[in-house]
Structure 1
Amino acid sequence: MTRPEDKNPWSRRQWLQFTSAATLGGALGTLSGCGGGVAVGVAGLLPGTGGTGQIAAVFARGFIAGFGSVIVNGIRFDDSAASVQVDGISGSSSALRLGMVIDVQGERGADLTQGTARSIAAWSVAQGIVGSVLPGGVFTVAGITVTTNANTVLDGLDSMAALSAGQRVTVWGLQADASASRWTATRVALAPTMPASSLVSTGLVQVIGDVRYVNGLRLAGTAAQALQAGQLVRVQGNLSSDGSTLQVQQASLQGLTQGPTAPTGEAEIEGVVTAVLSTTRFKLGDVEVDASQATAQPTGAALAVGTRLDVHGVWQSGVLLARSIEIEDQETEYTLELTGYVEQYVNATDFIVRSQRCDASKALLQNGTLADLRTGVRVQLKGSLAGSVLQVTELEFDH
């Protein structure tokens, strides 16, 4: 994605540490979503840095912006020794894809752009049959409303215009409202082999009498009985023939602070503002953020529900105490990165790396020419999305 370091010789973390100070109480009323990234920094060094090379535990949640190491929230995590789960099923990092939202538990040292992942978990937020397709890249599935943008990774769709009601899809994304019934998609994949009755929905549990609901779906089965009102859960099961009831086979808590043990240590979380609680507190997805100790550069427009942020901070009694905040411009094309072997090759406009279709016909080349591009060649790519294709702007042959 576009970051401050793209326009600045300093690294992102250095840029945040050296940004000029202003009180956040005033800045929260003036933060802007313009320019591809406005940073809110903290005066002084962040936990775990100190210039000593000290290793610090860190948790990160965000969408995958690249591979080589797994790139999330501007951090390159070495995933070579990480345990990986996709929708609760153990696997390897080869199952991960661009645009999937992942939770990473790991460590990093003085270089805050580098880390080592110990565990990675990717959870889709919805699977099912598209109910309706609305203008502006919006559609409904599994009881939720999904919004897409130019940076949503598409798999099996040349563009959102190709999506229609009745198709089966899997969606990864970020919670976009307080009710968890609206989500911003980071990846949408066609799933034509999915059984017609199979459904996944993520939302808040409602309890009426002794009946539980998520996104308007009545939940049935023993797996649903332990769910409590207000929990953010991902439910998976089979839909009844009339579409009203989900026979739940698996229910997983998705809220970061809902478990029996409060999270601790550093955190890097990408999300959408779902509620503004005060001049110094807001909700990022389901996480409450205390921004009272951050400093900022004021810029012009109000922080509001729907603003997309990266927040770095430390956990304090289940609340994320913000040290730095970066506002993302969703209209700016993100820069994505891939390092890997060419898995399939037709020509320079149509080849696959890490299961991602690529077009390098207009790329700046290093260490080779397009004549060297073929199946089995290892490459490093940078580019941005055009529908389902990564339009490569830089290609380096990794001999």
Structure 2
Amino acid sequence: MKSFPSLSAALSRVVLALAVFLVSACGGGGSTDLAGVGSGGSGVASGSVSGFGSVIVDGVEYDDSAATRQAEDANGVLLNVALKLGQRVRVVYAGARVAASIEVQAQLAGPVTQGPAADGVLQVLGQRVRIVSSSDDATRSNPTVLDGFATASAIQAGDEVEVHGAWAYDSTQGLWLLVASRLERLATAPDPVLIGGVASAIEGTVVRLNGAAGTRVDGFPAGSVAVGETVRAWVARSGLAGSPLVVQRVAGAEIRASDLDASSTVSLSGLASGYDAASRTVVVQGVRVKLADGVVADEAALARGEFVCVELSRSGSTLVARSVKQRGGSSDLGRTAEVKGVTRGIDWTAASVAFTLRGTAIRADGSVIDATCRAVNATTDVYVEVRGSVLGSGGAVTASSVRCSQSYSGSATTDYTGSLESIDTANRSLRLRVSPSGALLTARWDGRTYFEQHPASLPVGLRVEVEGVMDQGSSTLRLTRVRLAD
């Protein structure tokens, strides 16, 4: 029978894991925890990106206009990154869901060690990963966003990938696997690699991942991990042939002890595992929680391992789910992808339309395009709302509805494509000749802006896609992302 950590043991490990994370992060960019975030309706949410309005995590929208968007590297430095559909993220927010920081947390990054079998299961760094190919998946998981692969069958051993998703226990095989929400081909081989999973056994400083015969990883501080908890760590590529693998650094946790003390709301989304009907406890992404008295849930769905979102609190040494949300009926919880933003240059009169919005490829048949779009000139800025689902490669959203409006908030995120007229790295500004109108746009960047290519290396005349928010009371775009146009 599969064992899971006790509630008190899990909580104490979370506290210790937090301490370890804070110490290891001091040498780099630091932690994403914010001092004084505990008042005024603050919170922390851990889940998967299901769309963009600002940013949408499992169906809940957070204003990211002033947020940092970063990922931790092997040295503990937080680097600016682009947000993409299907990524696993940790959002720290305040007030009316205004995000202060968004940390992207991949679960695996390294070589495919075994290609997909007929059941959609492959291996990355020896860890089992399941590709979800249908919206009718038994776990109610979204189809996996495949970026860089036309189909799952195109993935081969030796491909370098980054994988996001939720860990789930497979009772038929007695092991944990990662149900992928996003699998992206990497242009270069990462070194060190990122390995993750659920601790199945502890042998001093050695953690065995995901099963009785799973990968042994050495270097975890004694007592910092309990059986059943989720871990992520960096390992030198040169040591992948050895056993045990040797940890260079342990990554920050999704939910931390300070979250429960400093935040009014802490939510965690993932797949249910190890549901115990007698105690009404369930494990979500390595955290075991007890359903609070009076909380109503579809317990049969929890036992089947379906998607769940729990809101956490603490009662003594017990982690309690004070609310449980599950997909089904009117509870979408991110099953529908939503992408919203301001753009221009789209021929809405075409029989079918393909365009990019918020860095996301959109494909829309003419039958789903509303008349509010058909009347818009291609040279006019328009606020576009897309609803649909992710099908096929590249993270493209196949639209079920597209609506447009020429009336929108000045804080709406805006996308433009055009050619660089000039770039001033000293003053962090650029000018863009926007397609197709030819209008000249002035934009500036700051320390939160993500550049796909270093700004000093961008030549005049290069076609780029930019994303940002108009500065209040001005016509200058404050950039959040700059990428090369396809």
Out of 67, 80, 87, the residue aligned to residue 100 of structure 1 is: 87
Question: How big is each residue's C-alpha offset from its partner over 1:190-233, in whole Å with a ceiling of 9 and x where there is no partner?
Answer: 113224x642111245543665554544546xx65567442532
Aligned to 1:76: 61
Task: Point out the structure with max Rg over C-alpha.
Answer: 2
Question: How big is each residue's C-alpha offset from its partner over 1:114-149, in whole Å with a ceiling of 9 and x where there is no partner?
Answer: 521222211000011112212222211123211221
Aligned to 1:395: 402
Residue 236 of structure 1 aligns with an amino acid whose one-letter code is W
Aligned to 1:17: none
Q: Aligned pair count?
A: 335
Counterparts of residues 149-228 of structure 1 (less than 5 Å): 149=132, 150=134, 151-177=143-169, 181-195=176-190, 198-205=192-199, 206-208=201-203, 211=206, 213-214=208-209, 216-219=214-217, 224=220, 228=224
Deviation at 1:305, TM superposition (A): 5.1
Deviation at 1:183, TM superposition (A): 1.3
Give me the whole-angstrom Cα distance separating, in 1, the residues matched to 2:52 and 2:169. 30
Deviation at 1:314, TM superposition (A): 2.8
Unpaired runs of 5+ in structure 2? Answer: 1-38, 135-142, 407-486
State the TM-score, normalized to the length of structure 2: 0.59
Equivalent residues of 1:263, 1:315 under 8 A apart: no
Question: How big is each residue's C-alpha offset from its partner over 1:278-303, in whole Å with a ceiling of 9 and x where there is no partner?
Answer: 4322222222222142343769x463
Deviation at 1:99, TM superposition (A): 0.9
Quick one: structure 1 residues 260 and 96, their matched pair in 2 at CA, closer, same or farther if it must change by over 3 Å? closer
Counterparts of residues 371-390 of structure 1 (less than 5 Å): 372=377, 379-388=384-393, 389-390=396-397
Quick one: structure 1 residues 377 and 249, their matched pair in 2 at CA, closer, same or farther if it must change by over 3 Å? farther
Aligned to 1:233: 231
Equivalent residues of 2:58, 2:335 under 8 A apart: no
Question: How big is each residue's C-alpha offset from its partner over 1:161-187, in whole Å with a ceiling of 9 and x where there is no partner?
Answer: 322222111101112129984111111
Deviation at 1:91, TM superposition (A): 4.8
Counterparts of residues 322-337 of structure 1 (less than 5 Å): 322-328=321-327, 334-337=335-338
Deviation at 1:69, TM superposition (A): 1.6
Out of 345, 360, 367, the residue aligned to residue 364 of structure 2 is: 360
Residue 138 of structure 1 aligns with an amino acid whose one-letter code is V
Equivalent residues of 1:63, 1:102 under 8 A apart: yes
Residue 201 of structure 1 aligns with an amino acid whose one-letter code is I
Aligned to 1:37: none
Give me the whole-angstrom Cα distance separating, in 2, the residues matched to 1:247 and 1:344. 51
Instruction: Please state if 1:287 is matched with 2:270.
Output: no
Give secondary structure in 2 for the equivalent of 1:368: helix
Give me the whole-angstrom Cα distance separating, in 1, the residues matched to 2:298 and 2:258. 36
Deviation at 1:78, TM superposition (A): 0.8
Instruction: Please state if 1:120 is matched with 2:108.
Output: no
Quick one: structure 1 residues 373 and 335, their matched pair in 2 at CA, closer, same or farther if it must change by over 3 Å? farther
Give secondary structure in 2 for the equivalent of 1:367: helix
Higher relative contact order (CA 8 A, sep 6+): 1
Quick one: structure 1 residues 316 and 241, their matched pair in 2 at CA, closer, same or farther if it must change by over 3 Å? closer
Give me the whole-angstrom Cα distance separating, in 2, the residues matched to 1:320 and 1:166. 41
Give secondary structure in 2 for the equivalent of 1:303: helix
Give secondary structure in 2 for the equivalent of 1:296: coil
Equivalent residues of 1:65, 1:71 under 8 A apart: yes
Of the structure 1 ranges 209-218 and 148-157, higher mean CA displacement relative to structure 2 is found in: 209-218
Aligned to 1:18: none
Give me the whole-angstrom Cα distance separating, in 2, the residues matched to 1:392 and 1:209. 51
Counterparts of residues 337-352 of structure 1 (less than 5 Å): 337-340=338-341, 348-352=352-356
Question: How big is each residue's C-alpha offset from its partner over 1:253-275, in whole Å with a ceiling of 9 and x where there is no partner?
Answer: 42635679867532222111121
Give me the whole-angstrom Cα distance separating, in 1, the residues matched to 2:222 and 2:298. 46
Quick one: structure 1 residues 277 and 262, their matched pair in 2 at CA, closer, same or farther if it must change by over 3 Å? farther
Out of 123, 145, 150, the residue aligned to residue 140 of structure 1 is: 123
Give me the whole-angstrom Cα distance separating, in 2, the residues matched to 1:127 and 1:339. 29
Identity of aligned residues (%): 26
Quick one: structure 1 residues 281 and 191, their matched pair in 2 at CA, closer, same or farther if it must change by over 3 Å? same
Quick one: structure 1 residues 291 and 337, their matched pair in 2 at CA, closer, same or farther if it must change by over 3 Å? same
Quick one: structure 1 residues 295 and 95, their matched pair in 2 at CA, closer, same or farther if it must change by over 3 Å? same
Question: How big is each residue's C-alpha offset from its partner over 1:300-331, in whole Å with a ceiling of 9 and x where there is no partner?
Answer: x463152221223433346442233222369x
Give me the whole-angstrom Cα distance separating, in 1, the residues matched to 2:258 and 2:67. 22
Residue 166 of structure 1 aligns with an amino acid whose one-letter code is G
Of the structure 1 ranges 251-260 and 54-63, higher mean CA displacement relative to structure 2 is found in: 251-260
Quick one: structure 1 residues 209 and 285, their matched pair in 2 at CA, closer, same or farther if it must change by over 3 Å? closer
Give secondary structure in 1 for the equivalent of 2:153: helix
Unpaired runs of 5+ in structure 1? Answer: 1-53, 109-113
Deviation at 1:57, TM superposition (A): 2.3
Quick one: structure 1 residues 135 and 123, their matched pair in 2 at CA, closer, same or farther if it must change by over 3 Å? same
Aligned to 2:461: none
Of the structure 1 ranges 241-250 and 141-150, higher mean CA displacement relative to structure 2 is found in: 241-250
